[in-house]
A and B are shown apart, each in its own frame.
Chain A
Amino acid sequence: MNTPAPKVPVQPFSPEDLARRKRRATAMAIGLGLLVILFFITTLIKLGSGIMERTM
């Protein structure tokens, strides 16, 4: 008499878990995008008019 093997779930995350994960990933992507914009605008502001005086 073999004992039945324990059931291993095919998908460990429920659809709700996956939906939450997607929302978290989207929020993280938006956050990173905003960080890029933050650095870009700040660079322009810090350089100021100096950006026009660079050697070409």
Chain B
Amino acid sequence: MTDTSHDVASTSLTTQLGGQGSLEDYLALLKPRVMSLVVFSGVVGLVAAPGHVHPWIGFIAILCIAIGAGASGALNMWYDADIDAVMKRTASRPVPRGAILPGEALGFGLALAIGSVLVLGLLVNLLSAALLAFTIFFYVVIYTMWLKRWTPQNIVIGGAAGAFPPMVAWAAAAGTIDAGSIALFLLIFFWTPPHFWALALFREGDYAKAGVPMLPNVAGRPETKKQILIYSVLLLPVTALPLLTGTAGMIYAVGAAALTLNFLFHAIRVFKAATREAEDRLAKKLFGYSIVWLFAVLALVLFEHSFALPLFKAFI
């Protein structure tokens, strides 16, 4: 009896004090899966940028971009803890689970955000640091605090935050913002709506329960399917931009065209789905394929710059 009361008292006190989170909980705050995409797109921006960057400086740039992305994730989880708690997909995140107090997540996120921007500015260049600071601001303030709870166009405009990393890395390597880096930005920017709306289609109930105005629960499923199709069609000319700006070559052109036509094929199938069950099933397929598409398209740019172009130059 005494032991039990002591345990209860200890538990409530430590919960108030915080300090309960494990290293794994703090790692989860950084959204490692999102971070892996950010790192990959950053590496592509770094390699595709004109000029030469010292590998060590390039490594620091990618490290800072990764930590900045992690900071954005932690600040997002701090602000969205109320929404996360009612959504099945996010209920087990450290803040709604009670493993980390909101204030701890806020402090952790702010420290990493300020640290990553400072280190990038001090060790690499000021333009890339300013872009990283803007990216974090855009994701946390513009997307998380404002757009996400206000408009069903949240992920269209908010998608810019996820599209900035290759531009930050490009600025770290070349010290400029060029047409090539804007092309990489647009590639991710136009990919984001069909990717997230596919998720929103088969997770519609979750978003509605949390009161997040996603397109399916505001404008309806037919409108969402139409918008997915429109953005998938727009991806075709956008995918050609790296080619037009000289960021990518013919290997990219052939590969990206095939990948994007397949993307369009998936989107048409979702658009034509007649039943709710078919919509959910095909939207899941589109969501999975959209991740593969982005990795593959960026990998083509990386391949051309790392292997194909140097090999081609060696022969002429």
Contacts and interface: CB of A to CB of B under 8 A. Distances in A.
Interface in A4-30: 6-9, 11-14, 17, 20-21, 23-24, 27
Contacts of A12: 10, 13-14, 17
A23 B56 contact: no
A51 interface: no
B275 interface: no
Q: What is the size category of the interface that chain A forms with chain B? A: 20 to 34
Q: What is the size category of the interface that chain B forms with chain A? A: 20 to 34
A1 interface: no
A43 to B, nearest CB: 9
Interface stretch (B20-28, B181-189, B229-237): B20-28
A27 B24 CA distance: 11
A54 B27 CA distance: 43
A22 B139 CA distance: 32
Contact of B54 (A8, A14, A27, A45): A45
Nearest to B123: A42
A7 B21 CA distance: 25
Contacts of B60: 38, 42
A35 B19 CA distance: 24
Interface in B17-46: 17, 19-23, 26
Interface of B: 5-6, 9-10, 13-14, 17, 19-23, 26, 54, 56-57, 60, 63, 119, 123
Given A21-B19, A45-B56, 10 more contacts: A7-B5, A9-B13, A12-B13, A13-B17, A14-B10, A14-B14, A20-B19, A23-B23, A38-B60, A42-B57
